[in-house]
Chains A and B, each alone.
Chain A
Amino acid sequence: MTTSAAPAPVAARPSPRRPRPRRSWTGWAFIGPFMAVFALVFLAPIAYSVYLSLFQDRLIGGNTFVGLDNYTRALTDAQFWSGLGRVSLFLAVQVPVMLVLALLAALAVDSGRLYGRDFFRISIFLPYAVPAVVASLMWGFMYGTRFGLVGNVNEALSVTLPDPLSPDLVLASIGNIVTWEFVGYNMLIFYSALRVIPISLYEAAEIDGAGQLRTITAIKLPAIRGALVIATIFSIIGSFQLFNEPSILQKLAPNAITSDFTPNLFTYSLAFAGQQHNYAATVAIVMGLITMAIAYTVQLRGMRKGA
């Protein structure tokens, strides 16, 4: 696809060393190393997982072939579906909030109307450099209602803020951490896309007498549709694989963040605490298929509208 339009009429040159445009295996010399390692660390474990998903290994009774039983179990497992429902809710709320915030920031930075633009750009991006583990530990400290920042505010203003780690709020609190981590990252993606909009488009808009808002909706947003779609897809995959943040916060909110809080936590506790590797592999595969289906759908729809 990216190999753009085939260059000119090349036909008659029989040089053996001309890989393009004719298909040749030369490209594999360059992509080969990547694919070899990829096969080792991705494809092989996936294949092994598929194999594992067809068996059941018990503490008592050993390993037996069970066909598709694990899949049947996964599809009817309330714990799995409740986790999936939770990340779907997360996806439906956190992703739009984060992307809109990132987009607004990107438009503001790009508008050239900010004082200290570069400072804004780099500062908002900085949280991306903070490891998810550190971010969660840090926010976990701040969420504390007794000695954390929330507690400080309560004390200073003599109010009682709701506990961010209570069951009702914990998902939102995790959403906040994830938003904090990635708003700058997404801003930067949007900003980069905005920067390369050809100047001719702006000139045309100016001639048409378009206002600021009109320029944004008619020129900027359509121009960065691709970046928006990609950011959305990344975020969908990220949401469905939510793990690090709830896993670290679990120590602080054991009753609010259950072991089946997200599908990924569920597979983790199945595999590690429960020693149910086979079923964990099955859940992961089902989850992977669902993620892929949704990511592809978003991609197709997003692109079709743009085209």
Chain B
Amino acid sequence: MTPAWRTPLRGLGMAAALLLGVTACGSGGGSSAGDVRSALEEGGKITVWAWEPTLKSVVEDFEKEHPNVDVELVNAGTGPDQYSALQNAVKAGSGVPDLAQIEYFALSQFAVGESVADLSPMGAADLDGTFSKGPWSSVNLEGGIYGMPMDSGPMALFYNKDVFDEHGIEVPATWEEYIEAGRRLHKADPDAYITSDTGDAGLATSLIWQAGGQPFTVDGTDVTVDFTDEGSTTYAETWQQLLDDDLVAPVNSWTDEWFQGMADGTIASVVAGAWMPANLESSVADGAGSWRVAPMPQWEEGASASAENGGSSLAVPEAGENKELAYAFAEYATTGDGVATRLAEGAFPATTADLEDERFLSREFEYFGGQKANEVFAESAGNVVEGWSYLPYQVYANEVFNDTVGKAYVSDTTLQEGLAAWQEQTVEYGNQQGFTVNE
């Protein structure tokens, strides 16, 4: 943990933190926070759209605790599918859920369109300090709080130690070393690659974020897209070397080939958010014991910069019929007892109390050969570079990422040219949607 990140809460444990959360909420005053309490007493039914698997148990517990509340949990699609559905429902004015899972990168799109409610008056305003800074800044938009951080994805390097050892590769501390490791590995075993990448908007933006780039700046409806800043350029030039020398496996993430490659050692590492262990455990079971976690390689030697990758919030749609009750459930799931339930099932917390909890930090991951991986993640969470923001239409931007930047993976186009094309397309779209972009 970085010192700057320590708070007096450290060591008090989860129970105390929860207590604090509750008092904060209660003392926050304002009629709306009171409305939340009375809504909970009154009970009723809410619909939650989420694909996060751990919420199932949270709902069960919540209903047990509040027998007069009925929570209907619906998996309305994963990511963009669900956003389309939500936007369509909002447009149609019916069928809107009371609570929806929205990833951090997509939240500002809904906030700008005023499709989701500002939760500050209901008590979220008092939660400052409850969540780690990456997620908290992601839900703080336009002067309001538009979602409750549910989990977070401080990044780390996951690597196959057996493969590294076999080829005498040290854990790389910088991206230059990482590329060098890739070269050695691929040379020694032409079937093996340091990692796989076929163009992923989430990964690319996270790496630019770590490199200190700020390609997207948003001020109300004034938006700037600029991939020529230093961070973006550093990323593009460095990562380009991996592509030029065919050092990344051309395997799409989340496919059978990808999981298989991680299991058989042909994909030797992956850079991802702290939610990755759950996926490794369930889908790359054969890799148990071989894999380890290390801090992200750095763009500058000796630095300790990190970024967030993925993670979701729970947001309350403006058109929902029972906003107070929805907020009550969201609070339970993100700062209340629900957190412990979700952590037990493998989710990674966004709450500082848990990130600093000794039991959490000292958990030994069998999958990682007994390594206390949470220490690495928690440190990463504290090192997230500040000042990053996504576009208020990032969902569309990510949709066309592979149309533009993706070209670099399958043709002579360079990453930098790809980013320029991405910039052009997102600028055009933004202007069409009524934003003032790059003017």
Contacts and interface: CB of A to CB of B under 8 A. Distances in A.
- When A and B assemble into the complex, do they touch directly, with CB atoms less than 8 Å apart? yes
Interface of A: 58-61, 141, 144, 146-147, 163, 166-167, 251-256, 258-260, 269, 272-277
B251 A146 contact: yes
Contacts of B257: 144, 146-147
Q: Indicate the member of A163, A167, A273, A277 with the most B CB atoms within 10 Å.
A: A273
B261 A273 contact: no
Contact of A252 (B80, B252, B434): B252
Given A167-B410, A251-B255, A273-B80, A259 B400 contact: yes
B434 A166 contact: no
Contacts of B403: 258-260
8 contacts: A59-B113, A59-B393, A60-B433, A60-B435, A144-B257, A146-B261, A260-B403, A273-B399
Contacts of A60: 112, 221, 433-435
Contacts of A166: 410
B198 interface: yes
Interface of B: 80, 84, 87, 91, 109, 112-113, 198-199, 221, 250-252, 254-257, 260-261, 392-393, 395-396, 399-400, 402-403, 406-407, 409-411, 429, 432-435
Contact of B252 (A59, A251, A274): A251
B395 A273 contact: yes
A255 B407 contact: yes
Given A144-B256, A254-B199, A254-B252, A276 B432 contact: yes
B192 to A, nearest CB: 12
B75 to A, nearest CB: 18
A251 B256 CA distance: 12
Contacts of B256: 141, 144, 147
The 8 lowest CB-CB distance pairs between A and B, nearest first, are A60-B434, A255-B406, A58-B434, A61-B434, A273-B399, A272-B84, A254-B402, A258-B403
Contacts of B87: 275
A255 B113 CA distance: 30
Contacts of A269: 399-400
Contacts of B198: 254-255
Nearest to B254: A251
A273 B199 contact: no
Contact of A167 (B261, B399, B411): B411
A155 B72 CA distance: 49
Q: Is the interface of B mostly helix, strand, loop or mixed?
A: helix
B428 to A, nearest CB: 11
Contacts of B113: 59
Nearest to B397: A273
Contacts of A274: 396, 399, 429
Given A147-B260, A252-B252, 16 more contacts: A59-B109, A59-B113, A60-B112, A60-B433, A61-B434, A146-B257, A147-B256, A163-B250, A166-B410, A167-B411, A251-B255, A253-B252, A254-B198, A258-B406, A259-B403, A269-B400
Q: Indicate the member of B80, B91, B434 with the most A CB atoms within 10 Å.
A: B434
A93 to B, nearest CB: 21
Given A147-B257, A269-B399, A273-B399, A255 B410 contact: yes
Contacts of B251: 146
A255 B401 CA distance: 9
A74 B321 CA distance: 39
A157 to B, nearest CB: 17
Nearest to A255: B406
A155 to B, nearest CB: 11
A247 to B, nearest CB: 12
B175 to A, nearest CB: 22
Contact of B402 (A146, A163, A255, A277): A255
Contacts of B395: 273
A58 B433 CA distance: 5
Nearest to B112: A59
B367 to A, nearest CB: 23
Contacts of A276: 432
A171 B396 CA distance: 24
Nearest to B257: A146
Contact of A58 (B250, B399, B432): B432
A255 B409 contact: yes
Contact of A259 (B84, B393, B399, B410): B399
Nearest to B201: A254
Contacts of B84: 272-273
A108 B80 CA distance: 48
Given A60-B433, A255-B410, A259-B403, A275 B396 contact: yes
A146 B392 contact: no
A21 B205 CA distance: 72
Contacts of B435: 59-60
Contacts of B250: 163
A274 B221 CA distance: 17
A147 B261 CA distance: 10
Nearest to B81: A272
Given A59-B112, A273-B396, A256 B260 contact: no
A125 to B, nearest CB: 30
Nearest to B109: A59
Contacts of A272: 80, 84
Nearest to B411: A167
A273 B81 CA distance: 8
A34 B250 CA distance: 50
Contacts of A273: 80, 84, 395-396, 399
Contacts of A255: 198-199, 402, 406-407, 409-410
Nearest to A274: B396
A215 B289 CA distance: 71
B108 to A, nearest CB: 11
Nearest to B405: A255
A215 to B, nearest CB: 50
Given A59-B392, A146-B260, A254 B406 contact: yes
Q: Indicate the member of A58, A167, A258, A272 with the most B CB atoms within 10 Å.
A: A272
